[in-house]
């Protein structure tokens, strides 16, 4: 059995196809089994080659990456796709559409001075995503009819999490003053689609501000904020720095910059951005926001950690909870990757584990 992830590269640029082939060649767990110069050719080759993963350019002539992805998912729902996007407004909007359709994630084409540097950056971006695809491939190949012999002591984290939901929701979570004053959310892989489901379910009269860190590069967070703003009565915007926190407003950290909370001279709180080094290989980083909130904010805080790869946010939640904050994490079944929420759960920092379908309602309950 071939354990490597079989990859099909789809890009109308021959030079970028060659770059992506070089990238895959440097990732031990992957092999390039073919290339395609258009969406139509890609569909035909998928039927013949049966890849595990398609690296798919977003903007292509004739049939673009979004439509190609739509057809792939209709015909081969098990095949994963990672979108390869340029740094421009049109590409960012189309990339967000592709994530809604079912792309696993995306990587932006690096702006670098040499092909070698670009290849190195793409290897760094794609390696963990290909590892995730490989894990999913193993799970699919090894899937057997389940034996219902789990006990609470030997159950998977998901089963334990479900038990904790039953236990905790019997006594509704409340802050000391009976309300939450600030909500902070951290999310990564699978986040745009998850936020698209969460935000429209939030109370249109949300009585507190919400700050979100979604791991994304510049340009894409602006498009995400505009898209979400069209889907909710709440005002959603990309943070620029200098904004005062206002109830019912949702602020999204700008791609490529950290977002932090600061005390204002008049006693209010305001947002600030910076370009200090990445934390957990991320900028923006959930930990950076959460730590600044823990050090600055004087009210009752609800932290929410949603789908995402890695453990960004765990140490920030730890600091928030020292100040009495409560924490919800998205459950494993509804997460694309249970890395970030799973890390918080394994650290014993989650007060509740909640499915994505119920997360909006739960947040609404806690902020009444």
Q: Do 41 and 136 have their domain in common?
A: yes
Q: What is the mean pLDDT of residues 211-216?
A: 97
Domain residue limits at 272? 157-367
Is 312 one of the catalytic residues? Answer: yes
CATH no. for residue 33?
3.40.50.2300
Looking at the fold, whether 179 and 131 belong to one and the same domain comes out as no
SS3 content of the chain, % helix, strand, coil (to 5): 40, 20, 40
Instruction: For 121-176, write each residue's pLDDT tens digit.
Output: 999 999 999 999 998 887 765 544 443 323 222 233 443 333 333 333 333 333 33
- Residues 290 and 194 occupy one common structural domain: yes
Give yes or no: residues 360 and 308 share one domain. Answer: yes
Give me the long-range contacts of 161-165 (CB less than 8 A, separation at least 24): 161/331, 161/332, 161/345, 161/353, 162/331, 162/353, 164/350, 164/352, 164/353, 165/331, 165/352, 165/353, 165/354
Rounded to whole angstroms, the Cα distance separating 239 from 173 reads 29
Evaluate whether residue 238 is within a structural domain.
yes
CB of 197 closer than 8 Å to CB of 361: no
Q: What is the pLDDT of residues 93-131, one digit of tens each?
A: 999 999 999 999 999 988 877 888 999 999 999 999 999
Q: Verify that 345 and 244 share a domain, yes or no.
A: yes
Give pLDDT tens digits for 309-350. Answer: 999 999 999 999 999 999 999 999 999 999 999 999 999 999
Cα dihedral sign, 192-203-304-300: positive
Cβ count near 137 (within 10 Å)? 20
Let me know if residue 146 belongs to a domain. Answer: no
Does residue 126 lie within any of the structural domains?
yes
CATH label of the domain that carries residue 288: 3.40.50.180
Instruction: Give 13-70 pLDDT, tens digit per residue.
Output: 999 999 999 999 999 999 999 999 999 999 999 999 999 999 999 999 889 999 999 9
In terms of domains, do 240 and 274 share one?
yes
State whether 266 and 334 are in the same domain: yes
Residue 152 lies in a domain: no
Q: Single out the catalytic residue among 38, 85, 91, 188.
A: 188
180 & 71 share domain:
no
Cα 220 from Cα 224, distance rounded (Å): 6
- Is the pTM of the predicted complex or chain greater than 0.75? yes
Q: Mark whether 358 and 250 lie in a shared domain.
A: yes
**53 located within any domain:** yes
Q: How confident is the model at residue 264 (pLDDT cuts 50, 70, 90)?
A: confident
88 pLDDT more than 90: no
Kindly state whether residues 118 and 182 are assigned to the same domain: no
Tally of structural domains, the chain: 2
Q: Which of 38, 92, 98, 215 is catalytic?
A: 215
**For residue 305, what are the β-bridge partners?**
186, 329
- Quick check: is 114 catalytic? no
Q: Which tens digits make up the pLDDT trace of 57-86?
A: 999 988 999 999 999 999 999 999 999 998
* pLDDT for the residue 165: 38
Catalytic-labelled residue, pool 312, 331, 334, 343: 312
Of the three residues 74, 109, 141, the one that is the final residue of a domain is 141
Per-residue pLDDT of 215-235, as tens digits, reads 999 889 999 999 999 999 999
Q: Residues 266, 315: one domain? A: yes
Say how far apart CA 54 and CA 79 lie, in whole Å: 7
- Residue ending a domain, among 80, 113, 141, is 141
Within a domain: residue 270? Answer: yes
What is the pLDDT, as a whole number, of residue 326? 96
Q: Is residue 76 annotated as part of the catalytic site, yes or no? A: no
Residues 218, 267, single domain; the answer is yes
The answer to whether the beta carbons of residues 54 and 106 sit under 8 Å apart is no
Q: Is residue 278 part of a domain?
A: yes
Mean pLDDT of 246-274: 93
Structural domain contains residue 150: no
Domain end position, chosen among 141, 166, 184: 141
């Amino acid at each position: 059995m071939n354990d490597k992830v079989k990859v099909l590269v789809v890009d109308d640029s021959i030079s970028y196809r060659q770059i992506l082939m070089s990238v895959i060649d440097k990732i031990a767990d992957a092999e390039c089994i073919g290339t395609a110069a258009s969406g139509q050719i890609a569909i035909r080759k998928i039927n013949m080659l049966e890849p595990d993963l398609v690296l798919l350019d977003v903007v292509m002539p004739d049939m673009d990456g979004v439509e190609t992805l739509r057809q792939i998912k209709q015909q081969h729902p098990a095949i994963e796709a990672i979108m390869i996007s340029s740094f421009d407004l049109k590409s960012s909007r189309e990339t967000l559409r592709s994530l809604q359709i079912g792309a696993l994630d995306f990587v932006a084409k690096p702006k670098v001075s040499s092909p070698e540097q670009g290849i190195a950056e793409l290897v760094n971006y794609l390696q963990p995503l290909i590892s995730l695809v490989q894990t999913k491939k193993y799970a699919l190949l090894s899937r057997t009819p389940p034996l219902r012999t789990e006990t609470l002591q030997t159950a998977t984290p998901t089963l334990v999490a479900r038990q904790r939901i039953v236990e905790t929701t019997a006594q509704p979570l409340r802050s000391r003053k009976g309300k939450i004053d600030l909500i902070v959310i951290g999310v990564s892989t699978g986040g745009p689609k998850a936020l698209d489901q969460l935000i429209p379910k939030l109370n249109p009269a949300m009585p507190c501000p919400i700050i979100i860190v979604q791991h994304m590069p510049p340009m894409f967070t602006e498009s995400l904020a505009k898209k979400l703003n069209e889907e909710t009565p709440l005002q959603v915007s990309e943070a620029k720095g200098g904004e005062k926190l206002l109830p019912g407003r949702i602020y999204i950290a700008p791609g490529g910059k950290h977002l932090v909370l600061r005390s204002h001279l008049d006693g209010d709180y305001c947002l600030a951005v910076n370009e200090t080094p990445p934390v957990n290989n991320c900028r923006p980083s959930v930990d950076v926001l959460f730590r600044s909130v823990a050090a600055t904010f004087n009210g009752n805080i609800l932290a929410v950690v949603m789908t995402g790869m890695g453990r960004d946010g765990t140490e920030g939640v730890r600091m928030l909870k020292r100040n009495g904050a409560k924490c919800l994490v998205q459950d494993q079944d509804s997460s694309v990757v249970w890395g970030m929420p799973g890390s918080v759960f394994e650290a014993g920092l989650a007060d509740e584990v909640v499915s994505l379908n119920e997360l909006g309602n739960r947040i609404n309950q806690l902020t009444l």
